[in-house]
Amino acid sequence: MPDSAPASKRAVVVGSSFAGLTAAFELRKRLDPAHEVVVVEPRDVFTFIPSLIWVPFGMRDPEDVTFPLEPVYSKKGIRFVNDAAVGFDLDARRVLTADQEIEYDSLLVATGPRLAFEKVEGLGPIDGYTQSVCNLEHAMLTRNAWQEFLENPGPVVVGTAQGGSCFGASYEFLLNTKHRIKKAGLEDVAPVTFITAEPFLGHFGLGGVADSEQRVEGFFEKLDIEGIPNNVISEVRDGEIELDGGRVLPFALSMIVPPFTGVDAVRETEGLGNPMGFLPVNDEFRHSEIENVYAAGVDVAIAPPEETLVPAGVPKTGQMSEVMAKVAAQNMAADIQGGERKSMPISEMEAICILDAGSGGIIFKADHVLGEAEHPRVMAGPQAHWAKIAFEKIFLESRKRGHPIL
Which fold would CATH assign to domain 10-114+261-348?
Answer: FAD/NAD(P)-binding domain (3.50.50)
| Confidence grade of residue 3 (pLDDT, cut at 50, 70, 90) | very low
Structure confidence by residue, pLDDT tens digits, 108-149: 999 999 999 999 999 999 999 999 999 999 999 999 999 999
Task: Give ranges for CATH 3.50.50.60 in the chain.
Answer: 117-260
What integer pLDDT is reported at residue 2 of this predicted model?
43
Closest by CA position to 71, among listed 404, 399, 406: 399
CATH class of 117-260: alpha beta
Length of the chain: 406
Q: Which of 281, 336, 353, 354 is catalytic?
A: 353
Residues 6+ apart with CB under 8 A from 301: 273, 274, 276, 278, 279, 280, 281
Q: Which of 21, 96, 145, 166 is catalytic?
A: 166
Assess whether 353 carries a catalytic annotation.
Answer: yes
Q: Is pLDDT above 70 for 310? A: yes
Assess whether 134 carries a catalytic annotation.
Answer: no
The answer to whether 325 touches 26, Cβ cutoff 8 Å, is: yes
Q: What pTM was computed for the model?
A: 0.91
What integer pLDDT is reported at residue 1 of this predicted model?
38
Task: Give ranges for CATH 3.50.50.100 in the chain.
Answer: 10-114+261-348
Measured CA to CA, the distance from residue 216 to residue 234 in angstroms comes to 25
Q: Is pLDDT above 70 for 369? A: no
Query: What does DSSP say about strands 10-14 and 106-109: parallel, antiparallel, or unpaired?
Result: parallel
Dihedral sign (CA 170, 256, 182, 224): negative
Closest by CA position to 255, among listed 313, 165, 188, 174: 174
Residues 6+ apart with CB under 8 A from 141: 125, 131, 132
Q: Is pLDDT above 80 for 404? A: no
Q: Is pLDDT above 90 for 207? A: no
Measured CA to CA, the distance from residue 304 to residue 21 in angstroms comes to 26
Q: In what order do the strands lie in the sheet containing 240-243?
A: 233-237, 240-243, 248-250
As a whole number, the mean pLDDT across the chain is 90
Closest by CA position to 308, among listed 230, 240, 213, 217: 230
Q: Is pLDDT above 70 for 405? A: no
Query: What does DSSP say about strands 94-97 and 85-89: parallel, antiparallel, or unpaired?
Result: antiparallel
Residue type, 161: A
Q: Is pLDDT above 90 for 367? A: no
Determine which helix (DSSP H) or strand (DSSP E) holds 214, and give its type and residue range. Answer: helix 212-223
Structure confidence by residue, pLDDT tens digits, 15-66: 999 999 999 999 999 999 999 999 999 999 999 999 999 999 999 999 999 9
